[in-house]
Structure 1
Amino acid sequence: MKPFCFADGQIISTEKASIHPMDLGLIRGYGIFDFFRTVNFQALFLDSYLDRFFASAEKTFLPLDYSRAELKAVIQDLIEKNHLKEGGIRMVLSGGVSSNHFSPAKGKLFIFAESLIFPAQEKYDKGIKLLSLEYVRPIAEIKTTNYALPVWDSMRWKDAGAEDVLYHMNGIISESSRSNFFIVKDGVISTPDAHVLMGITRKNVIELAGNVQIRPVSMQEALNADETFITSTTKVLLPVTQIDEHEIGTGRPGPVSLDLLEKFRKLEREICY
């Protein structure tokens, strides 16, 4: 965590940021957040992330008393004060202190600057393993702070040598715990259409690829795919070469995945340099 954050309506020392112990964010796990990267001191795809943050606040009935322009100014100040050339910005809006300790209230806005470590290059070169998990994330279209299940379950992934999980229900895949999921079969790219967070990286990968099928994707399709990969802010595009004990395709990152990763990195350079 970097030394300066935004809390209580001002930029302060991060170590002095605090929250009421009865805030719903603590006692009920109720709140929203969003996270985006900085590249060359610029917030990458900032408008898209702010669109999602404002939408999440509205859908969760949490007042957000800042305009887009005000948030942009705060974010730029934090980037400069923390000298955040390449890193991450995390916006968190808590559930607030509720009179009945249950209903959403006026929460507290925090904006933190963070160092960012990408997955090791070896994971891009060799691909990663996912573990299947029968689960649908609650109100998946909202980026809530409720990650209790995957945080608890992550100890299982470590023991199994996996990067993350792959959620599915009744044989239909939705997403990973922190990423969107794609398959490639005979050159055609598909990604799940329901019970997913509309990821910003997902959105840009779809635009870069063109003609992506957004539809129900079955677990059997994923196991029989030529390639599979996940996308997220912190991973960009990470090839998936194993689901449970099943090898995907050749067991190596495929040409479609690697081409899209290079196109995304080129897009970053065009925007930020």
Structure 2
Amino acid sequence: MSRTVYVNGEYCAEEDAKISIFDRGFLMADGVYEVTSVLDGKLVDFDGHAKRLERSLKELDMASPVTMDELLEIHRELVKRNDLEEGGIYLQITRGAPADRDFAFPDPATTPSSIVLFTQVKNLANAPAAQTGISVISIEDQRWARRDIKTVQLLYPSMGKMMAKAAGADDAWMVEDGQVTEGTSNNAYIVKGRKIITRQLSNDILHGITRAAVLRLAKEAQMEVEERGFTIEEAQDADEAFITSATTFVQPVVSIDGETIGTGKPGNIALRLREIYIEESRAKAI
């Protein structure tokens, strides 16, 4: 049975979903997106994703076609219609579909924003990679300068995923001016002497919703956190490494550019953070 998706105010079967060929998300990557995880049929940290969505829209001077309350109801309806217990909901808003292709932004009064949502089934809480850890390679960060805006411009991260696959690794960490920015679709961390180190917030990285929650939980658990850049060499010499994202939660990294991290197995801090993050997510999901 096909999924029920949401397109511009209508619920429909995925095979019936249609977007104009003039939609600026398709022609210009002129759009933003969010992915909200679902555990036990409930939404994880929806408020955080909604606030980041509003910020992304504001930074691009893009109108939202729905209110955040309406967006919450759409998410819940999709969970219900698709009987989704565990996985995620992908949301994309673009600047809409003007009458023809043009670099200039269309008038929002005559060209409303487009909105699309769909569900994805995924094993989140018991993902096998969380128990074994993943391997990453380092690549040059060649993205645009406003990585703090969660846009649909994902070509280079996709290329990074493929570079990792070609090298026999699971993912890639991007490096700029000698320091790690982030992973292709996640924030990056190392642990040294029980201190968690991750790059500070700026336009250089995405302001991860899971990142914010995990760092808060780490501090509540009396773990030391330092927000600063680090090099690949420093990461290779770390006791642990891990990533965070909405759909991986906290996932250990056990190898970087072929060098084993720590014992070569998921570290205690990463595993503990994953445990308490999932506990809180289940308790506070809506």
TM-score exceeds 0.5 = yes
CA drift of 1:7 comes to 1.2
The amino acid of 1:131's aligned partner reads I
- 1:86-119: CA deviation from partner (whole Å, max 9, x where unpaired): 1211110123234662234443111112212449
Counterpart code for 1:265: I
Say which is worse superposed, 146-155 or 42-51, in terms of deviation: 146-155
Q: Are residues 1:271 and 2:272 paired?
A: no
What secondary structure, in the 3-state scheme, does the structure 2 residue paired with 1:184 have? strand
Q: What whole-Å deviation, never above 9, does each CA across 1:55-98 have from its counterpart, x for those lacking one?
A: 11111222113111111112111111111121211110123234
Percent of counterpart pairs with the same letter? 29
Deviations 1:207-247 (A, max 9, x none): 11014211222223212211110011111111111111222
In 1, distance between residues paired with 2:181 and 2:105? Answer: 27
Structure 2 match to 1:115:
121
C-alpha distance in 1 between matches for 2:276 and 2:196? 15
Match of 1:207 among 216, 239, 244: 216
> For residues 142 and 216 of structure 2, what CA distance do their matches in structure 1 show?
26
Distance 2:234 2:105 in 1: 40
Structure 1 residue 132 corresponds to structure 2 residue 133: no
Is structure 2 residue 238 aligned with structure 1 residue 225?
Answer: yes
What's the counterpart of residue 197 of structure 1? 206
The 8 Å contact of residues 2 and 112 in structure 1, kept in 2 or not, is answered as no
Q: Distance in 1 between matches of 2:132 and 2:85?
A: 28
Shift, 1:15, TM fit? 1.9
Aligned residues: 273
Is 1:245 the counterpart of 2:258 in the alignment? yes
Distance 1:172 1:153, change over 3 A: closer
Partner of 1:35: 35
SS at match of 1:234: coil
**Structure 1 Cα separation of the partners of residues 283 and 125 of structure 2:** 23
Q: Distance in 1 between matches of 2:181 and 2:197?
A: 12
The 3-state SS of whatever aligns with 2:205 is coil
SS of equivalent to 1:166 = strand
Q: Give the aligned partner of residue 103 of structure 1.
A: 104
Q: Distance in 1 between matches of 2:34 and 2:260?
A: 33
2: CA distance, partners of 1:14 / 1:272: 26
Alpha-carbon distance in structure 2 between the residues aligned to 1:2 and 1:202: 33
Q: Over the residues paired in the alignment, what is the CA RMSD in angstroms?
A: 2.1
Matching residue's letter, 1:152:
M
Deviation at 1:130, TM superposition (A): 0.7
Report the equivalent of 1:156.
163
| Higher mean C-alpha deviation, range 149-158 or range 39-48 | 149-158
Instruction: Give the corresponding residue for 1:169.
Output: 176
Question: 1:131·1:244 contact (CA, 8 Å) conserved in 2?
Answer: yes
Q: Secondary structure at the match of 2:206?
A: coil
Instruction: Report the equivalent of 2:268.
Output: 255
Indicate if the aligned counterparts of 1:24 and 1:104 stay in contact, CA closer than 8 A.
no
For residues 240 and 110 of structure 1, the distance between their equivalents in structure 2, rounded to whole angstroms, comes to 33
CA distance, structure 2, for counterparts of residue 212 and residue 74 of structure 1: 36
Kindly state the Cα deviation for residue 32 of structure 1 after the two structures are TM-superposed: 0.8
Q: TM-score, normalised by structure 2?
A: 0.88
Aligned AA (1:28): M
The match for 2:189 is 182
Tell me the residue number matched to 1:5: 5
Tell me, which stretches of 5 or more residues in structure 1 are unaligned?
none
SS of 2:253's partner is strand
Distance 1:42 1:230, change over 3 A: same
